[in-house]
Amino acid sequence: MKLTNLSLAILVAVGVAACGGSDDNNSNRPMDPKAPSNPRNNNNNKNNQADSKQTVDPTGTNVVDNKDLTKVSTVGTLQYVRREGSQYDRANNPSKAASASPLLGVTLNNQNPSLTNIVLARQELTRADGQPVKAQFAGSSNPNPLKSNGEFQQGDLGSVSLQEENFKNVDVLAGMYQARDGVTAVGSPDEGKAGKQVTNNVDANGAINTRPLTDGKKVFNAVVTTTGSPAGDNYPRKFSDLTSPIKPDDISNIAAGDKDKAYNMSPREWSTLNSPLDKYKGPGVYSTDGKEGYTAIIDPATWKKAIAEKTLESGVNTKDGKGQDIYYYRGITQAANKDGNKLEPIRKTVTAKFAHTHQNGSRYGKGLVWWSTPETAFENEFTRRGTDRIATNDLDDANKLLGKDNAGITELKGDSRAATNGLVRIGGGLSTLGEETKFNSATGKWEDHHNTTTRIFGRYHLAYSKDNTTKQVSLNSYSGARTFVAEYDAKNENRATQYSLGAKPMTLTRVQYGRVSNNLDLDAGQTGYRDNFMRSDFVRKNNDGGVDNYFYRGVDATSIEQMAALPSNQSAVYHGHALMYGIDNSFHGSTGNKGRDLPNAFAPAGSTAKGIGLGNFVEARVNFGTKRVTGEVYNTWLLDPTKNVTTKDKLVQFQGKITGNTVVGSADRAYLAGDDNATFKASFFGDKAQEMGGSFNSVKDTDRYSDAYGTNDWGGVFGATRGETNTFQGDDGKNVYTD
């Protein structure tokens, strides 16, 4: 294979490219990249200086990042966020943590379409040990991530592909469906190791071909109970699998010695019937029995503390004593019949099995990633702590299932049980899950939260082998979210009584985007690759010596000629998913209609817990006639689950001008006064601009470097695909535009 002629991004001298195959007999050796026009040797990761006169386009010359956008198609951007302990790029940038996002222009098509690696730095410099370095890359030197039988395949010197590393961290269907076939069985000799990758996420018709997780023993409720949550341990939540339904603790015989004991009050609507049903509890909500797996509704739980004999505190607690969420999966709702002598179901909650097997399953959420997906699929103890090893006694039952216990230590071994889906889950009276960073109001800083080595989506985020050929895994991103029926009348399943939200998985075939975190210090890199290429190891996001690299890139970039051939009356809408940092995901009421915007404290009448949201999604509206792009990064909210109506809560609004296949413009956080005037860049991919990749960065091109993770520091990357199209005469001659 070759590391071939990789791009040099003049702004911060970093490039995005990939290793590729070759037909020559030196195909296992890297090849020299083009020499920078003005090489500067040093031993401190010093990159080439930017040409400050051409980093932006104030005069309308169409030259951005030293690229004439009327002549050159771009293929991506790359931004770094450097940790305090990292020495990367200290010569050019001694003190600021973050870089701008330069446009990159070298095609990836013939280098490595499987995208097994990413080049993060291009420079001519020398290590302290005298070893010269021309480029630093992360991933594998092998252009194929898999062997023909589906086993992961490493490159020279044990280099691991982006797909193998990302397999541990990202799975769009995580928690909702049976584990991918690469996850070895519990109890097997290879438990915890990545197995063979031989199955795609979809069948030949594009439908999800994995079964929903219907094993109630692998999904959990979490409540505070008298027996499981002692006061001496600060009332921790107790996990129990769904096959053990939650019931409220008996409060009828609270003795004086029971002072300070915790009493579970959930399910919330549980009440006692008088004779002849005094031995039953109802009418009210019951937790599921787990026979058909998880359900589409999670209810917050509550508890009270005994303060005296036969007396509980007046207020209810909605978190455990340590501030953690407590909740249960809703099952049926029962009520006494009109004669008062029998309990009857009046409402039923949709289960995973029901949705998957129903002839009208899409109405009930089939094919979606539900808001009620188990919490470990959004984030878990391993992603939060940034480690592969945690003492088993420190883990709850749900997190224990993510690894293999080894002498009291639960370890991740490389399979995907701890992988997360990339969504942000908000609302429902529970904590927000899935964010890259969380804001610490005491310090005024955004802090690391999702501490994985990678979070990569889109083209070849994962791979599988079929017919001795490596292929990309489908369903690698999202196009948005929609409602579905989550609960229905027990006597008429066509009558919905409550709705929920589910994200819509989609497949990007050209664009890849996300984050990779690496140690880019020169002395830490692996040398021994041809022509002084050096591999940088993956590190977790919270590693003090690491660098977080946010990027988008793609194959089949739309050429200048292809862009020019698009009819001038064409407009289109692109839908996708973004990986953002430094963004407040709480509900802001930023609906886009100022006359209807809702106050920050908005919640449906009678509850602050009912509204639920999913994100982060992207909508970009493109007019190829006027050469303009406008759009938003947003979360989809279901503010009143009794109504099938969603609200788009805008987080970022952006706009830009199209030149060639490239968009350059500005972006602003929609929920704050003023204008961030952050940088927005994007590129089109496909012969008819079928896909779009883009980036946002509060570090402006003119500044080149700035702070990171402060109150006003934010950014992100996205991938999107073309959905609605109008006023365009497509190939079929019927105003229908298709790929």
DSSP H helices, 362-450, are 381-385, 397-400
Give the pLDDT confidence score for residue 19 in this predicted structure: 37
Q: Pick 232 or 279 by higher pLDDT.
A: 232
Give the pLDDT confidence score for residue 247 in this predicted structure: 92
Residue 354: phi and psi, rounded to 5, are: -60, -45
CA-CA distance, 104 to 662, in Å (whole number)? 11
314 and 411 both lie in a single domain:
no
In single-letter form, the type of residue at position 633 comes to: V
Q: Which of 682, 659, 657, 656 is nearest to 667 (CA)?
A: 656
Give the pLDDT confidence score for residue 46 in this predicted structure: 38
Structure tokens of 737? 């535009």
454 and 547 both lie in a single domain:
yes
555-602 pLDDT, tens digit each: 999 999 999 999 989 899 999 999 999 999 999 984 444 433 443 333
CA-CA distance, 520 to 191, in Å (whole number)? 32
Structure tokens of 398? 């749900």
Contact present, 98 and 699 (Cβ < 8 Å): yes
722 and 585 both lie in a single domain:
yes
Give the pLDDT confidence score for residue 437 in this predicted structure: 98
Is residue 654 situated within a structural domain? yes
164 HSE (CA, 13 A, CB side): 29
Is residue 34 situated within a structural domain? no
Give the pLDDT confidence score for residue 591 in this predicted structure: 46
Q: Mean pLDDT, to the nearest integer, of 628-635?
A: 98
Q: Pick 544 or 191 by higher pLDDT.
A: 544
Residue 150: phi and psi, rounded to 5, are: 95, -5
Which residue in this structure is represented by tokens 């009291």? 408
228 and 316 both lie in a single domain:
yes
The domain total for the chain is 2
200 and 86 both lie in a single domain:
yes
Q: Which of 364, 613, 367 is nearest to 488 (CA)?
A: 364
Give the pLDDT confidence score for residue 180 in this predicted structure: 64
Give the pLDDT confidence score for residue 38 in this predicted structure: 33
Residue 557: phi and psi, rounded to 5, are: -55, 135
Is residue 30 situated within a structural domain? no
Q: Which of 574, 587, 697, 719 is nearest to 651 (CA)?
A: 587
Q: What is the DSSP letter of 218?
A: G
Is residue 7 situated within a structural domain? no
The answer to whether the predicted template modeling score (pTM) of the entire model surpasses 0.85 is yes
Give the pLDDT confidence score for residue 179 in this predicted structure: 66
CA-CA distance, 391 to 400, in Å (whole number)? 10
Give the pLDDT confidence score for residue 308 in this predicted structure: 95
CA-CA distance, 236 to 230, in Å (whole number)? 7
346 and 375 both lie in a single domain:
no
At residue 423, does pLDDT exceed 60?
yes
pLDDT band, very low/low/confident/very high, at 634 (cuts 50, 70, 90): very high
Q: Mean pLDDT, to the nearest integer, of 101-116?
A: 88
CA-CA distance, 260 to 202, in Å (whole number)? 52
241 and 357 both lie in a single domain:
yes
Give the pLDDT confidence score for residue 124 in this predicted structure: 79
| SS3 track for 111-177 | CCCCCCEEEEEEEEEECCCCCEEEEEEEECCCCCCECCCCCECCCHHHCCCHHHHHHCCECCCCCCE
Contacts of 545 (CB under 8 A, 6+ apart): 83, 85, 86, 519, 521, 524, 539
| C-beta atoms surrounding 450 within 10 Å | 26
Give the pLDDT confidence score for residue 531 in this predicted structure: 80
Q: Mean pLDDT, to the nearest integer, of 302-317?
A: 95
CA-CA distance, 704 to 101, in Å (whole number)? 8
CA-CA distance, 438 to 447, in Å (whole number)? 5
Q: Which of 11, 96, 88, 118 is nearest to 550 (CA)?
A: 118
Give the pLDDT confidence score for residue 43 in this predicted structure: 33
601 and 701 both lie in a single domain:
yes
8-23 pLDDT, tens digit each: 222 233 333 333 332 3
CA-CA distance, 67 to 659, in Å (whole number)? 11
Domain final position from 323, 351, 366? 366
Is residue 244 situated within a structural domain? yes
Contacts of 596 (CB under 8 A, 6+ apart): none
Is residue 42 situated within a structural domain? no
Q: Mean pLDDT, to the nearest integer, of 153-170?
A: 96
Strands 647-659 and 628-638: antiparallel
77-104 pLDDT, tens digit each: 999 999 999 999 999 999 999 999 999 9
Q: Mean pLDDT, to the nearest integer, of 500-520?
A: 98
Give the pLDDT confidence score for residue 382 in this predicted structure: 98
247-268 pLDDT, tens digit each: 999 998 899 999 999 999 999 7
Q: Which SS3 state, helix, strand or coil, does residue 408 take? A: coil
Is residue 134 situated within a structural domain? yes
421 and 327 both lie in a single domain:
no
Give the pLDDT confidence score for residue 599 in this predicted structure: 37
Give the chain's end-to-end CA distance (angstroms, integer).
31
CA-CA distance, 721 to 475, in Å (whole number)? 12
Range of the domain at 82: 74-181+196-208+367-391+401-727
600-631 pLDDT, tens digit each: 333 333 333 479 999 999 999 999 999 999 99
465-503 pLDDT, tens digit each: 999 999 999 999 999 999 999 999 999 999 999 999 999
Strands 533-535 and 463-466: unpaired
Length of the chain as a residue count? 739
| C-beta atoms surrounding 180 within 10 Å | 25
Q: Pick 682 or 589 by higher pLDDT.
A: 682
CA-CA distance, 9 to 20, in Å (whole number)? 20
The per-residue pLDDT of the chain, averaged, comes to: 86
Give the pLDDT confidence score for residue 605 in this predicted structure: 36
pLDDT band, very low/low/confident/very high, at 187 (cuts 50, 70, 90): low
198-231 pLDDT, tens digit each: 889 998 888 888 778 888 999 999 999 999 999 9
Whole-number percent of the chain with pLDDT over 70: 84
Instruction: Identify the bridge partners of residue 725 per DSSP, sorted by sequence position.
Output: 572
Give the pLDDT confidence score for residue 413 in this predicted structure: 87
30-72 pLDDT, tens digit each: 333 333 333 333 333 433 333 333 334 544 778 998 999 999 9
Stated as kind and residue range, the H or E segment containing 489 is strand 477-489
341 and 383 both lie in a single domain:
no
Q: Pick 674 or 4 by higher pLDDT.
A: 674
Q: Mean pLDDT, to the nearest integer, of 125-139?
A: 87
CA-CA distance, 140 to 604, in Å (whole number)? 51
Q: Cα 424 vs. chain centroid, distance in angstroms?
A: 7
Give the pLDDT confidence score for residue 131 in this predicted structure: 83
450 and 362 both lie in a single domain:
no
Structure tokens of 585? 């995901």
Contact present, 424 and 615 (Cβ < 8 Å): yes
Q: Mean pLDDT, to the nearest integer, of 271-275?
A: 66
| C-beta atoms surrounding 531 within 10 Å | 14
Is residue 31 situated within a structural domain? no
Q: Cα 170 vs. chain centroid, distance in angstroms?
A: 8
At residue 27, does pLDDT exceed 70?
no
Give the pLDDT confidence score for residue 194 in this predicted structure: 77
659 and 700 both lie in a single domain:
yes
